Chains A and B, each alone.
Chain A
Amino acid sequence: EVQLVESGGGLVQPGGSLRLSCGVSGFSFDDHAMHWVRQVPGQGLEWVSGISWNSARTGYADSVRGRFTISRDNAKNSLDLQMNSLRPEDTAFYYCARDTSGSYSWSLLDYWGEGTVVTVSS
């Protein structure tokens, strides 16, 4: 069974940092690109970042580029999102999601975790 479990969310002050993690099981992690997608409660979905199967390529939404860094460890079946210089508008549920392809630019997402909430507030 494919499983994705996010962790690391919480309350942080504006300008602070947080590192999200996503542990996966039930599939060959290094066959798939991975993504982070966020959702403000009650609102729509926003793609945040993606990484190819071998970490060779990464992509970011304009809203987070230069502040967030995506990474993965295929040996540990884990995906991370380092979030720096956080802003109140970064407050959202953050989901990790599996790409059907090894290329992050494909971005068809067939499995999602349950999400972790990030709140940026003073």
Chain B
Amino acid sequence: EIVLTQSPGTLSLSPGERATLSCRAGQSLGDKYLAWYQQKPGQAPRLLIYGASTRATGIPERFSGSGSGTDFTLTISRLDPEDFAVYYCQQYGRSPVTFGLGTKVEIK
């Protein structure tokens, strides 16, 4: 199975700052089937980005994804108070689907 390593484990930032989250795959995702999810406490995950860089329906433009091969990035251009949450990357299209362990974005 494809292992996804997310870094950092925790990101401490202030509202308005830029957040950069990393996801590294154990083997190349040449097809860019990489997704990002946001999860707030007590809530289900929400799909943010798929295909490495396509925003899901209703996702604000401050969220962007990039990357290819084994290295992918989720960027939140200016943190809104509602953006403090845990973010997971996921590879899909290859069985079994796998998730990273998550990056927590917390208020500094």
A interface list, Cβ under 8 A from B: 43-47, 50, 59, 61-62, 95, 100, 105-115
Contact = CB atoms under 8 A, between A and B. Distances in A.
Contacts of A110: 47, 56
Interface string B21-58: 00000000000010101000001111100100000100
A113 B44 CA distance: 7
Secondary structure call for the B interface: loop
Given A108-B35, A108-B92, A115 B99 contact: no
B89 to A, nearest CB: 10
Interface residues of B, number: 23
B97 interface: yes
Interface of B: 33, 35, 37, 43-47, 50, 56, 88, 90, 92-102
